[in-house]
């Protein structure tokens, strides 16, 4: 057992006023599930309306309906492929028709799977780059004119994987490092127009699909965190609310890592045994070899 377990953070409704974002509109890619859905819900709980996009229309509309019913504010779900600039532009046009403005843009659409370089096809690598990196660029391009008008805020969801080499995650590491670079350039180019751009880089967050995949065979443990626990959606939401509020008006071009300090601890992921075991599973046909398989449809 760790020597100390940090208490879980107070929820946003205890921390921020309920009308913090009254009259504001958030545009969220990947808002149908996971971290971005929870961020959207938190924004709506504090007065914002939201427009969420995802590849699956039924899933996006279901999530939007759930959040509207829970908060009493309006959320609209829309089908969009962030890899396609025209598709993103159409989504933004619809959001403007529905709400008339955009104040917050969260770029969170992402794809992921586990695979070593030796078993990953160029198409599989490109798919994640296209969703995470190109998708972020397309979203910025389509929303920028509207954020200039509102002097709005971009939040990009990245990761901590690329800060120290993470086996089986070269595609995501490359994509998220690129997103952080885009955010930094955006911050200095558009700061003069009143736009702020920052990244939230989640570490191990309890309940996410990424955590389920990366805690392979239990080798990633809450004991590895200096604070004795994994992060929660609430930890992400509190930072999100802060970054879009006037309290963060001078924060621009930053990467905020929500990992409890875990990245400063020596890796305890059973390297190289976990990698060798994974490659053995591929060799024995128990895990799909992405070099030989068709391009996997990305899940947003």
State the pLDDT confidence band at 159, using cuts at 50, 70 and 90.
Answer: very high
Q: Within a domain: residue 250? A: yes
Report d(CA 256, CA 233) in Å as an integer: 15
pTM: 0.88
CATH number of the domain to which 221 belongs = 3.40.50.720
Report d(CA 148, CA 132) in Å as an integer: 23
pLDDT at 295: 46
Number of domains the chain is built from: 1
In the chain, beta strands by DSSP E: 25-29, 49-54, 75-79, 104-107, 153-157, 196-202, 255-258
Which tens digit of pLDDT belongs to each residue from 41-63?
A: 999 999 999 999 999 999 999 99
Q: Within a domain: residue 32? A: yes
The answer to whether the CB of 147 falls within 8 A of the CB of 154 is yes
Share of the chain above pLDDT 70, in %: 87
Report d(CA 143, CA 137) in Å as an integer: 10
Q: Within a domain: residue 18? A: no
H or E stretch covering 274: helix 273-283
Structural domain range at position 184: 25-260
Q: Within a domain: residue 292? A: no
pLDDT at 293: 54
Burial class (CB in 10 A: 0-12, 13-18, 19+), 164: exposed
Q: Is the pLDDT of residue 300 over 80?
A: no
Neighbours of 25 (CB within 10 A): 24
The answer to whether the CB of 103 falls within 8 A of the CB of 26 is yes
Share of the chain above pLDDT 90, in %: 72
Q: Within a domain: residue 290? A: no
Candidate from 82-96, 139-153, 203-217, 250-264 with smallest mean pLDDT: 203-217
Q: Respond yes or no on whether the N-terminal peptide bond of residue 213 is cis (omega within 30° of 0).
A: no
Which tens digit of pLDDT belongs to each residue from 103-132?
A: 999 999 999 999 999 999 999 999 999 999
Which tens digit of pLDDT belongs to each residue from 201-216?
A: 999 898 787 666 665 4
pLDDT at 226: 85
**Higher pLDDT residue, 266 or 161?**
161
Beta carbons within 8 Å of 274's beta carbon, 6+ residues apart: 167, 216, 217, 219
Q: How far is CA 134 from CA 10, 178, 272, in A?
A: 35, 9, 32
State the pLDDT confidence band at 294, using cuts at 50, 70 and 90.
Answer: very low
Q: Within a domain: residue 9? A: no
Q: Within a domain: residue 279? A: no
Q: Within a domain: residue 285? A: no
């Amino acid at each position: 057992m760790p020597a100390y377990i940090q208490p879980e953070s107070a929820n946003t409704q205890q921390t921020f006023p309920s009308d913090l974002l009254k009259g504001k509109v958030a545009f969220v890619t990947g808002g149908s599930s996971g971290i971005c859905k929870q961020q959207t819900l938190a924004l709506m709980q504090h007065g914002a309306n939201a427009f969420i996009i995802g590849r699956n229309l039924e899933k996006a509309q279901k999530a939007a309906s759930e959040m509207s019913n829970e908060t009493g504010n309006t959320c609209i779900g829309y089908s969009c492929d962030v890899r396609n600039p025209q598709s993103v532009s159409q989504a933004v046009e619809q959001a403007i028709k529905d709400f008339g403005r955009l104040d917050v843009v969260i770029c969170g659409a992402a794809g992921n799977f586990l695979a070593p370089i030796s078993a990953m096809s160029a198409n599989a690598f490109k798919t994640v780059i296209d969703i995470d990196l190109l998708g972020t660029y397309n979203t910025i391009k389509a929303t920028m004119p509207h954020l200039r008008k509102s002097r709005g805020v971009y939040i990009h969801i990245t990761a901590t994987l690329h800060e120290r080499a993470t086996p089986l995650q070269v595609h995501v590491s490359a994509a998220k490092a690129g997103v952080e670079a885009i955010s930094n350039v955006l911050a200095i180019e558009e700061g003069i127009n009143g736009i702020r751009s920052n990244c939230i880089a989640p570490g191990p967050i309890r309940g996410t699909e990424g955590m389920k995949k990366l805690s392979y065979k239990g080798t990633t443990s809450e004991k590895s965190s200096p604070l004795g626990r994994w992060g929660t959606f609430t930890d992400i939401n509190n930072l999100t609310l802060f970054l879009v509020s006037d309290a963060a008006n001078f924060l621009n071009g930053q990467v905020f890592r929500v990992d409890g300090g875990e990245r400063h601890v020596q890796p305890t992921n059973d390297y190289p045994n976990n990698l060798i075991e994974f490659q053995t599973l591929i060799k024995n046909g128990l895990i799909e070899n992405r070099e030989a398989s068709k391009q996997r449809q990305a899940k947003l």
